[in-house]
Amino acid sequence: MTSKDTRVALVTGGSRGIGRATVLRLAQDGFDVAFCYQSNDEAARELEKQVTEIGVRVLARKADVTDAEAVKALVAETEDLLGPVDVAVTAAGITRDNPLVMMTEDQWHQVLDVNLDGVYNLCRSVVFSMMKRKSGAIVNLSSVAGVYGNATQTNYSASKAGIIGFSRALAKEVGRYGIRVNVVAPGFIDTDMTSVLTGAVKDKALEQVPLGRLGTAEEVADLVGYLASDRAGYVTGSVLQIDGGITI
């Protein structure tokens, strides 16, 4: 059962890190939230419980964002159970770091498939319905690596730069339909991806951050929440960096 007054958000990569924080942020902002995840059933169930306790509806599904049919099915089920998707957030992402001379074809294609094709698959699945309703907001998660590049991350940087170009082009296409498309480009954020770094590597990285600390997933989610809201009604085609000043 759906309500005309209900706003619905769909988040990929929702069970951990920035995706998880975004699901909670949007739920706290009053959205019913659907999210997909790759493999961690326990984390998904825990998040599902937290969202339910906030007082909104939630749909959690295991889905591979590289599988276009699986993403279409996720969107269809979301629309059927919760209602039309008002906000789409692409937070699913992976890294497979290596210097280019050592990078395998699998490492290249895995990262591009998840990080870039995953964005295409979700946006392609939600945008037509948004166009018909003449409203909607899409927030794609990129990275400062996609803006400035990062050594040993040619695959990751390429995928995240691709997201920026994709999003700007889409913003130009669908703006006349009342749809906004924006990009959030985080810097050094305290997530599972950074938790594997050794103390020395992390300390060296923090030396480059003027604010002198890691960002939090919640801080990134707050920015996503702003872009998803009516407060950002005149913001589209933007790439908003949240990086503690590391790129100054």
Query: Which CATH number goes with the domain that contains 43?
Result: 3.40.50.720
Would residue 229 count as lying in a domain? Answer: yes
Catalytic residue among 120, 148, 156, 226: 156
Domain range enclosing 173: 8-189+217-242
pLDDT, tens digit, 9 for 90 and up, residues 100-128: 999 999 999 999 999 999 999 999 999 99
**Does any domain span residue 40?**
yes
Binding site annotation covers 179?
A: no
> What pLDDT is attached to residue 196?
64
What is the pLDDT, as a whole number, of residue 11? 98
Helical axes 217-228 vs 17-28, angle rounded to 10°: 50
For residue 59, give the nearest of 21, 14, 4, 115 by alpha carbon.
Answer: 14
* 208 is a domain residue: no
Check whether 152 has a pLDDT greater than 50.
Answer: yes
Is 156 in the active site? yes
Residue 125 near residue 9, CB atoms below 8 Å: no
Kindly state whether residue 67 falls inside one of the protein's structural domains: yes
Is 160 among the annotated ligand-binding positions?
A: yes
| Domain annotation covers residue 210 | no
49 in any annotated domain = yes
The number of distinct structural domains making up the chain is 1
For residue 205, being part of any structural domain is answered with no
Residue 175 lies in a domain: yes
Task: Give the pLDDT confidence of 189-238 residue by residue, as tens digits.
Answer: 998 767 666 678 788 889 999 999 999 999 999 999 999 999 999 999 99
16 is in an annotated binding site: yes
The response to whether 45 counts as a known ligand-binding position is no
The pLDDT of residue 1 is above 50: no
